[in-house]
């Protein structure tokens, strides 16, 4: 899954240098009529209700990918799990990018340089051992029960090269328990402490934990203020924080 949408408040800092990298959505010239080239469906109506397409999301993810680049080399081979609208996959700078999701939306959302795969993210048998330098997932583990989450983590570790990284962006139940289950497909609870313990138990070495990383949701009147994202990421003060970031090594 994806960060549904993000809400930002102004933080008085110097404006960052502009980037000349175009925002890619993978949807240019496309329409819903030819979306179902494959028949994969996550949950009926999910992408029409809870995770509708939002042009501002791609702008947010351009900034997020610039921030995450400190853990991703330009020559890396990257796999995004639960890619959905491919907001991360379309904007990350890497030599090879594969975007996988159970829902066929990934096929029409992927930009031209991204390889879309419709399939179960807990079964990565299509990929050989040590195929990727980075596995990324945003808002995914909370949709899985423990058995399937452990299967996904085990498969992610298998397809990572030695020293490869797993980056997880997740809602942090500790920060906003009242809205955690606003998404009707959430079945598992994670906090910054429980998730890092879980990753260690599955054989990963946790390198970085940011308990307060992003707002929980983008569904607000401030969601169009995407130019504030770099300021928010740098600020020690995180208004409305509800998402955490964890970086772990194989």
Give all domains of the chain, ordered by start, each with its CATH number.
Answer: 32-249 (3.40.50.150)
Question: pLDDT tens across 109-128, in order?
Answer: 999 999 999 999 999 999 99
Residues sharing a CB contact under 8 Å with residue 105, sequence separation 6 or more, in sequence order: 35, 47, 84, 85
Question: pLDDT tens across 27-81, in order?
Answer: 333 333 333 334 565 555 554 555 556 677 788 899 999 999 999 999 999 999 9
To 5 degrees, how large is the angle CA 199–CA 196–CA 169?
A: 90
CA distance 138 to 141: 8
Which of the four pLDDT bands, split at 50, 70 and 90, describes residue 240? confident
Treating both helix axes as pointing N-terminal to C-terminal, what angle do 192-201 and 146-159 enclose, rounded to 10 degrees? 60
CA distance 196 to 185: 22
Whole-model pTM: value is: 0.78
Question: pLDDT tens across 133-178, in order?
Answer: 999 999 999 999 999 999 999 999 999 999 999 999 999 999 988 8
Lowest mean per-residue pLDDT among 98-102, 153-157, 232-236: 232-236
Which of the four pLDDT bands, split at 50, 70 and 90, describes residue 224? low
For 25, the token pair is 């959505």
CA distance 176 to 243: 9
- The pLDDT value recorded for residue 106 is 94
Which is nearest to 155 in space by CA: 189, 188, 120? 120
**Eight-class DSSP state of 128:** -
Give the rounded percent of residues in the chain with a pLDDT score beyond 90.
Answer: 60
* Residue bearing the bigger pLDDT, 228 or 97: 97
**What count of other Cβ atoms lies within 10 Å of the Cβ of residue 123?**
12
Q: Residue 143 region, left (φ>0) first, then alpha (ψ -120 to 50), else beta?
A: alpha
- The pLDDT value recorded for residue 245 is 97
For 58, the token pair is 């791609």
**Eight-class DSSP state of 91:** H
């Amino acid at each position: 899954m994806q960060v549904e949408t993000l809400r930002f408040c102004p933080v008085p800092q110097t404006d960052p240098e502009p980037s000349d990298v175009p925002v890619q959505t993978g949807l240019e010239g496309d329409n819903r009529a030819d979306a179902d080239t494959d028949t994969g469906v996550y949950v009926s109506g999910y992408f029409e209700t809870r995770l509708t397409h939002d042009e501002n999301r791609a702008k947010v993810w351009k900034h997020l990918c610039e921030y995450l680049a400190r853990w991703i080399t330009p020559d890396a081979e990257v796999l995004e799990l639960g890619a959905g609208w491919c907001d991360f996959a379309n904007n990350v700078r890497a030599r090879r990018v594969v975007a996988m999701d159970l829902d066929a939306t990934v096929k029409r959302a992927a930009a031209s340089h991204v390889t879309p795969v419709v399939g179960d993210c807990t079964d990565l048998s299509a990929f050989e051992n040590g195929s990727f330098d980075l596995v990324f997932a945003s808002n995914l583990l909370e949709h899985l029960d423990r058995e399937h989450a452990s299967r996904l983590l085990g498969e992610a570790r298998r397809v990572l090269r030695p020293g490869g990284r797993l980056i997880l962006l997740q809602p942090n139940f500790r920060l906003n328990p009242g809205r955690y289950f606003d998404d009707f497909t959430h079945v598992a609870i994670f906090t910054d402490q429980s998730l890092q313990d879980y990753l260690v138990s599955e054989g990963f070495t946790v390198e970085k934990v940011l308990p307060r990383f992003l707002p929980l949701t983008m569904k607000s009147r401030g969601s169009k203020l995407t130019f504030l994202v770099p300021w928010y990421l740098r600020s020690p003060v995180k208004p409305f924080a509800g998402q955490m970031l964890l970086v772990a090594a194989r």
